[in-house]
Structure 1
Amino acid sequence: MNAFLSVRDLSVRFSTEDGTVRAVDGLSFTLERGRTLGIVGESGSGKSVTNLAVLGLHDPRTTEIRGEILLDGQEMTGAPESVLEKLRGNKAAMIFQDSLTALSPYYTVGRQIAEPYRKHTGASRREARLRAVEMLRRVGIPQPELRVDDYPHQFSGGMRQRAMIAMALVCDPELLIADEPTTALDVTVQAQILDLLGELQQETGAAIILITHDLGVVAGTVDDLLVMYAGRAVEQGPVREVLRAPRHPYTWGLLGSMPRLAASVDEPLTPIPGTPPSLLAPPPGCPFHPRCGYVSEVGGDRCRTERPGLPPGRGAACHLSEERQRSVFAEQIRPRLG
């Protein structure tokens, strides 16, 4: 059975005055209908760039995209804009990071929700307005018949995020990409947004990609997890397996940097040492090796010169043996996590 979304050896590069930015480098993953894939990593790891490529939203004048992106059998890489326009907002849609900047301040919320519905279905203005009211009600906006004529600045942050979800779902897409939909929202609104996505997925059977830098957000939300670093996938697998027994030193670092309820209020967080590499000149070999504390265990210059592969299914792109990955986590990492 073919996956609904299949990404194979994706490479995204940007031309800049300083050189070529290798934003995504050899990324592969699949996603089935009705399942949710979480993509996590630090800012600049390539999460958003990857999913903008899936929808063909990069500027072809400054972006070089290679690899295969199949959406329900349709090749997205290099597809004509006329083909992409029919798919975007219809078969596939995206909830962008910042709802305040993603929504136009010049048009009412209802008009912005109705526009893609009219374009893809040929509905009249009246039909599209009724659909916009229906979608606002569906995502929990009170008095949608009145709020449909409000402008984005008249909505709270949580309500704007719900309006963005309504806009993305107005044509019942089969693929929904949610790019950090809970950023800058308080925890109660975060929980409401994530619950809403889950409910809508149950209703429509859509495939969902949830992009975030917060492992806590994905813990009870996604089915599978992809950890990205410096434009590459460094670990993947079912979310419970990845979080309960992570194998890559970068994933250990992400977990270790999270606050723990059982910790003392005076206990400092443990950040990952160093900084993410420049994607203008990423380090050779394993991109994480300048920040990794286990390079000496591998021996020689292997981590510095040889790029580790990512096994299919459950695995990590690391030169440490799988047995050593398990023992390091059990003996050194798990006790620190509590």
Structure 2
Amino acid sequence: MTPDVFLSVRDLHVRFRTEDGIVKAVDGLSFDLERGRTLGIVGESGSGKSVTNLTVLGLHDPRSTEVRGEILLDGQELTGAAESTLEKLRGHKMAMIFQDSLTALSPYYTVGRQIAEPFRKHTGASRRDARLRAIEMLEKVGIPNPALRVDDYPHQFSGGMRQRAMIAMALVCDPELLIADEPTTALDVTVQAQILDLLKELQQQTGSAIILITHDLGVVANTVDDLLVMYAGRAVERGPVREVLRSPQHPYTWGLLGSMPRLNSDVAEPLNPIPGAPPSLLAPPPGCPFHPRCGYPETVGGDRCRTERPGLPEGRGAACHLTPEQQRTIFAEQIKPRLG
């Protein structure tokens, strides 16, 4: 772990015991995140994005979850750490903006109290100072009349306002690691821009590391430094965001980009969705997990895609059996013309 790396995840495996069997939610994931940088994680629902980051915060039920691998936060091992240790870190050194604000906020307490609570716990602030901090954070995330709305309950907020309150709660202690799980869900375009600018401002002020989980590749393009593409609990491509979006190497990444509507395309032109559906993580396919939906196993030749798991190289690269020359040729001749 180099001095600049704040979060290091190595060979992470997360499995859930269910009545139907063992769900392999994360299967051998590794990545690093440096201070002051933003990592984007993209992929379809069920690819393991949120599970990975909930594991970093230690929020899975240990009675039904098996976690293997190494998670180092500023050099401190989190895998197997005591709950008391994780409680001291959560909300202070690391925090998460949850995707579903309706279930993440308690209906029994005012919004202001829920924002102020972690601030009091981690800083020892008085009730008055914590309340003022809650009002300040509500104003920062664009809640009108924050001094009045601080005493409202979650049901008195609209969906977008609840999402902004969740963001205020995550940012109240200026965490060094911020995990944002679809932070702009249910927000209109202007508020989305405001929230993303707020995250950048926090990063510039504190040098925090940010993980942004999203389905919106447009948001990723202008917000993150590095990109990790996940499929079936594994990382299939990674690298600097502009390189990944301009010259993607994995067929799954090609499919994600091809599924996006484009302003310069004909309105009558159909989208190009990825065929099939993500695999069941109760019984993921052998070899490359994407091969049942991929159009290039015959290009690779033999049964490699069906029997041999491709490795993900360090740095820029993709977990694919296509050679770099084949990737460049297919992208230039078949994929790029469709993307425009």
Task: Mark yes or no: TM-score above 0.5.
Answer: yes
- Counterpart pick for 1:275 among 274, 277, 285: 277
2:100 to 79, 98, 101: 98
| Alpha-carbon offset, residue 38 of structure 1 | 0.2
> 1:27 is matched with which residue?
29
Contact residue 163 and residue 186 of structure 2 kept, 8 A: no
Q: Distance in 2 between matches of 1:278 and 1:29?
A: 24
CA distance in 1: counterparts of 2:103 and 2:83, whole angstroms: 24
Q: Distance in 1 between matches of 2:320 and 2:281?
A: 20
Letter in 2 for 1:207: A
Amino acid in the other structure paired with 1:72: D
Alignment map for 1:119-268 (pairs within 5 Å): 119-268=121-270
Q: Which amino acid aligns with 2:339?
A: L
User: What is the aligned partner in structure 2 of residue 17 from structure 1?
Assistant: 19
Match of 2:79 in 1: 77
Question: What is the aligned length?
Answer: 338
Quick one: which amino acid aligns to residue 313 of structure 2?
A: P
C-alpha contact 2:112 2:131 (8 A) present in aligned 1: yes
Q: Matches of 1:293 and 1:329 in 2, distance apart?
A: 13
Residue identity opposite 2:116 in structure 1: A
Between the aligned partners of 1:119 and 1:141, the Cα distance in structure 2 is 24
2-side partners of 1:183 and 1:323: how far apart? 39
- Partner in structure 2 of residue 88 of structure 1: 90
Select the residue among 60, 63, 82 that pairs with 2:62: 60
Provide the C-alpha distance between the structure 2 equivalents of 1:157 and 1:190, rounded to a whole number of angstroms. Answer: 13
Equivalent in 307, 310, 313 of residue 311 of structure 1:
313
Separation (CA, whole Å) in 1 of partners of 2:125 and 2:197? 30
Other structure's SS at 2:187 match: coil
Q: Distance in 2 between matches of 1:323 and 1:275?
A: 28
Which stretch shows the higher mean deviation, 179-188 or 255-264? Answer: 179-188
CA distance in 2, matches of 1:119, 1:195: 27
Secondary structure of the structure 1 residue equivalent to 2:283: coil
Q: Classify the secondary structure of the residue corresponding to 2:223.
A: coil
> What's the offset of the Cα at 1:140?
2.5
Q: Which residue of 1 aligns with 2:301?
A: 299
SS for the counterpart of 1:309 is coil
Amino acid at match of 1:131: R
Letter of the aligned partner of 1:198 in structure 2? K
Unmatched runs of 5 consecutive residues or more in structure 1:
none
Measure the CA separation in 1 of the matches of 2:21 and 2:141.
44
The aligned amino acid for 1:182 is: T
| TM-score using structure 1 length | 0.98
CA positional deviation for 1:143: 2.0
* Residue type at the aligned position of 1:92: M
Greater Cα offset, 237-246 or 120-129: 120-129
TM-score by length of 2: 0.97
Amino acid at match of 1:102: A
**Aligned counterpart for 1:286 among listed residues 285, 288, 312:** 288
Kept in 1, the 8 Å contact 2:40–2:224? The answer is yes
Other structure's SS at 1:220 match: helix
Residue range with higher mean Cα deviation, 29-38 or 155-164: 155-164
Task: Give the secondary structure class of the aligned counterpart of 1:178.
Answer: strand
Q: Which runs of 4+ in 1 moved over 3 A?
A: none
RMSD: 1.0
Report the 3-state secondary structure (helix = DSSP H, G, I; strand = E; otherwise coil) of the residue aligned with 2:25. Answer: strand
Secondary structure class of the residue paired with 2:333: helix
Q: Which moved more, 1:188-197 or 1:44-53?
A: 188-197
Question: What is the aligned counterpart of 1:320 among 299, 319, 322?
Answer: 322
Q: For residues 186 and 309 of structure 1, what CA distance do their matches in structure 2 show? A: 39
- How far apart in 2 are the matches of 1:166 and 1:186? 17
User: What is the alpha-carbon distance in structure 1 between the residues aligned to residue 187 and residue 121 of structure 2?
Assistant: 31
